[in-house]
Structure 1
Amino acid sequence: MNTADVLADMFGRIQESVHEVVEGLSEDDLGVRLDDGANSIAWLVWHLARVQDDHVADAAGLEQVWTAQGWAGRFGLPFADAETGYGQSAAQVARVRAGAALLTGYYDAVHEQTLGFVGGLDDASLDRVVDEAWSPPVTLGVRLISVIGDDLQHAGQAAFARGALERR
């Protein structure tokens, strides 16, 4: 297994989790929050897709799928196109409403762009600095690991929320 294979496998696991967590749930179910300060499944999946889209597109020098393929318009959220959900208030979280097909459609499009990028990577490419705003500067390898970790955490949170919803 090489670098590209490992990354493709990890992002594939995220895709599987996204599909599993939203499968069979209505838009109302996806919008349920366990309390007024909690994130909904819809918000968690939207957010993890937005972060992956934002970070991978930036590292690859590509336009985000969100804008390039018209997903921002399909979702119709009351946020700027650059919004990823980071630091949003509880009121903003509550405004993310979407059905399973919309959420998985967007994630799948992000996943496709991600695989197109990581498929050409080798070990040496992971050392390229992609963000000098941090000390030490962030390399591509660190950025991709960060995205994978963040996505898996949010997918796990969404799975937890689904389990709690199903026990109601």
Structure 2
Amino acid sequence: MRSTDVLIDGFERVSENVHAVLDGITADQLTHRPGAEANTIAWLIWHLTRAQDVQIADVADRDEVWTSAGFYDRFDLPFEPSASGYGQSPDEVARVSVGDPALLADYYDATHAVTVDYLGGLTDDDLDRVIDENWDPPVTLGVRLVSIVDDDAQHVGQAAYVRGLLD
């Protein structure tokens, strides 16, 4: 098994969990906040997808799915196209309102497809390439990809927890 196969498996597991959270969910459930400043399921799925999209586009030297595939326009959120959820306030979290869970699934699936396609073209040697020298030690492509999977897994776990509270 190649290292990239392990990474693809990690992203596939995130995908399965995203779909499990969104399966049969209502618009009201998407925007439910278990606390006054808690993240909603809509925001969590949108943010994990945006973060993956932004970072994969950067390392793959590709356009973001968010803008290139028209999702920015389809979501019609009150943010600049570059917004990904990082540093957003509780008020901004509340502005991520998605009436149709299929839109979140479509954006996630499109981003996931680009991710898997990119990973499928990498070699194990590619993972050793330094992509960010602003850290000590410098960040390699492999470390960045593991970081993306880890972040996605945490956020989809949070979304699953909120969904469990509602069920």
2:77 is matched with: 77
The structural deviation recorded for 1:6 is: 1.2
SS of the equivalent of 2:86 reads coil
Q: 1:10-60 deviations in whole A, cap 9, x for unaligned?
A: 111111100000111111110101011100000000000000000111000
The structural deviation recorded for 1:94 is: 0.3
2:106 is matched with: 105
Identity across the alignment (%): 54
Which 5+ residue runs of structure 1 have no aligned equivalent?
Answer: none
CA distance in 2, matches of 1:47, 1:64: 14
SS of the equivalent of 1:66 reads helix
Give the 5 Å matches for 1:87-98. Answer: 87-98=87-98
CA distance in 2, matches of 1:4, 1:162: 31
Give the 5 Å matches for 1:1-168. Answer: 1-98=1-98, 99-166=100-167
Count of residues paired in the alignment = 166
The structural deviation recorded for 1:121 is: 1.4
Which 5+ residue runs of structure 2 have no aligned equivalent?
Answer: none
User: Retained in 2: the 8 A contact 1:3–1:121?
Assistant: no
SS of the equivalent of 1:130 reads strand
Look up the equivalent residue of 1:101 and give its one-letter code: A
TM-score, length basis structure 1: 0.96
The structural deviation recorded for 1:71 is: 0.4
